[in-house]
Chains A and B, each alone.
Chain A
């Protein structure tokens, strides 16, 4: 099994407070894993926040239950891994999955392109009403 050196998580309603709470967990994670270089912290934290913000801004509930966000971040010996999930969520619209950088006048639509530029792998999974982004960055 892969060794996990440090781990943090968050689970709660998909809203603005979740974004701040997830960011605080990321900061706490680096306190627990001080050997992670600044460049890796910066890039990975940005990607995790972008993925979480994408859920808060775009994920729609599949039925009456509101969307919940779940984040699980771990530091492994040679990589960082985050699972960012939207529970009780509909499948994302193709427009929200646009991964190319828009023109310089655009005020939105850069999130996914930015995530792809920041991490080593991005995987999207959908299972039982849960959308999950798995982000990894080799360190």
Chain B
């Protein structure tokens, strides 16, 4: 089951593309979690580039973006650098997909995460979330609107 609106987001610590640990509960600001199936896949690349370009709009509203997939740190590092992304990519790699499972967006059949967006408020409750068809690139409009609705 996908984590519901109003639920407390399960805390996690994951390694980002630079090898730093990122812990959800230590982030004071609202967070937009961008779960995507895989580094390098065409739809994901476009999706993340759009969010990266939009990062300044989210930042201006006090929200932080985090990308999450089951790819490992080295893969994330290469992908992050090739796309010159403006936000960290977290490796949900070991145990594989544990965070995606805790948010209810792990795909058992192919071992990837769903394409899903979560807007998490400063108190770490889920304020909005949406799972998109795997081939659909969602754009950033709804997440931005939901972040604006927080304040």
Decide if A and B are genuine partners.
no
Chain B contact residues, CB within 8 Å of chain A: none
